[in-house]
Homo-oligomer: A and B are copies of this chain.
């Protein structure tokens, strides 16, 4: 309360000045010890480190960011972490960031473009020096804003775009799957797609499937477009089956497919004997359904780490190389040739 100025170090956090004083050096030297140790002679460095330890000093983040003009914070906006695809991708993304150098600020948009925009602005306002975004479907003004602010970004789960991205080809992926179903002899096919508005992944899959079908002179007997979820997938399947005589149902993702599969069980349909059901993504649940799900394998984790690598290059001011990862059909247990119409079901 009165005389002892030295005590202030106990009541408030230690600063560079305290460390410098204790070590008998200048603040510049303390700063160098932290940011460029090789520029300080070992003897001095040791003194400084000892002082730091003794005072339990940690640099103030705001001051550091202000003076150095970097935060070491990277932002990511995903639709939702409840979708395993994004959770896994983000996890890989985070792990691929150099530890100690960057930290990850995450926000979710709930598939709402307006909210996504707010989240992007919030992350940048919080000092994000780079952004990871999902897909390329968004208002051009967002890109302009980002450009104006000079915030580097990478689009994950996106492809074929002129923007820096790490992704895969949804159309090609689904085409592989439709190809397999066609080969099996199916002609009465339906699709359960995710919501396509503002979602280029879902749209790419739906359109890719339509195109592949068209190449064989066919078109879908029915298409349902529903929000992400097991329950929505299940209900869509019920409706589709009730109104169309289909032998195969292509699903836009594994969760929808899992829902469809459950609905099939509950309706007493045998899979794959009575109906073929396929997924997309090959997340964990694909291998615990019964039968195990035939789906399209997408390297989500690899994509996450590639996105991290790319973003770092961009942040470092280098020319980043976008990557397009391959997908492939994983043939498990939910596909089979269509039941021949002229035979009894039990044949």
Interface residues, chain A, with chain B CB atoms under 8 Å away: 56, 58-67, 69, 71-73, 80-82, 84, 87-88, 90-91, 94-95, 99-100, 103-108, 118, 121-127, 148-149, 230, 255, 258-259, 261-262, 265, 284-285, 287-290, 292
Contacts and interface: CB of A to CB of B under 8 A. Distances in A.
A80 B91 contact: yes
8 contacts: A61-B126, A65-B66, A81-B91, A94-B107, A105-B106, A262-B287, A285-B288, A289-B290
A107 B108 contact: no
A230 B95 CA distance: 22
Nearest to A284: B230
Contact of A288 (B82, B103, B262): B262
Contacts of A122: 99-100, 103
A17 to B, nearest CB: 15
Contacts of A87: 81-82, 84, 87
A103 B126 contact: yes
Contacts of A84: 82, 84, 87
Nearest to A123: B103
Given A61-B65, A108-B95, A285 B287 contact: no
A285 B259 CA distance: 10
Given A104-B107, A262-B287, A71 B81 contact: no
A124 B149 CA distance: 27
A91 B62 contact: no
Contacts of A88: 81-82
A62 B64 CA distance: 7
A127 B196 CA distance: 38
A106 B108 contact: no
Most buried by B among A60, A148, A284: A284
A292 B262 CA distance: 9
Nearest to A124: B58
Nearest to A145: B56
Given A81-B81, A94-B108, A106-B94, A287 B60 contact: no
Given A84-B84, A84-B87, A104-B107, 10 more contacts: A59-B125, A61-B126, A63-B66, A81-B81, A81-B90, A81-B91, A82-B88, A99-B122, A105-B106, A290-B290
B289 A288 contact: yes
A67 B66 CA distance: 10
B66 A126 contact: no
Contacts of A80: 91
